[in-house]
Amino acid sequence: MKQFFFIGIVVLFCLISCRKDENPVPVTSLTYKVLAIEGDARYSNLRTAGGSAILQTGNICAGHNCNGIVVYRVKVSGECDDFRAFDRTCTFEASGSAMEIDKSWPYILHCPTCGSEFNMEGGYMEKGPAKYPLREFDCDFYDGDLSFRTVSK
């Protein structure tokens, strides 16, 4: 009987300690298109590689808690993978803060609440306390239009 009790305790411990640690920002759904993005004055920072801009969605709620989407221009080749897009919600304070574009380094997003920093070029957290990367949207750049689809990562 003691053996079964011991085995039960070990199994329970394994189940509790092996629980999956997940990104606190839930996957959000979005389908959105910006027509002729390179000619749109609101996105002039995206005309060169390394530029970033907050997506202007009007009255459409985008991102977790409507914190918005940030777009980063990886390269300028006219191909579908020229851009990356991220939910601006900080993964440390998932219920609150929206990451902001760093004025000196446009490939960095920083959280005004906790101080975390995210590298949009590489898609990883550079500085904590947040430990998860921002949720990323799939982007397609075709014929001058930029489309975003449901979060994939």
Q: The domain that contains 80 carries what CATH number?
A: 2.102.10.10
What digits encode the pLDDT tens for the residues 65-93?
Answer: 888 899 999 888 877 678 899 999 999 87
Any domain includes 64: yes
How crowded is the C-beta side of 105, counted as CA atoms within 13 Å? 10
What digits encode the pLDDT tens for the residues 51-64?
Answer: 999 987 777 788 88
Residue 120 near residue 107 (C-beta atoms within 8 A): yes
Parent domain of 117: 25-151
Any domain includes 1: no
Any domain includes 4: no
Structurally, how many domains does the chain consist of? 1
Higher-scoring residue by pLDDT: 152, 106? 106
Any domain includes 48: yes
Average per-residue pLDDT in the chain?
A: 81
Could you tell me the pTM of the whole model? 0.80
Lookup: tokens for 31: 């389908």
State mean pLDDT over 142-152: 79
Bridge partner residues of 84 (DSSP): 72
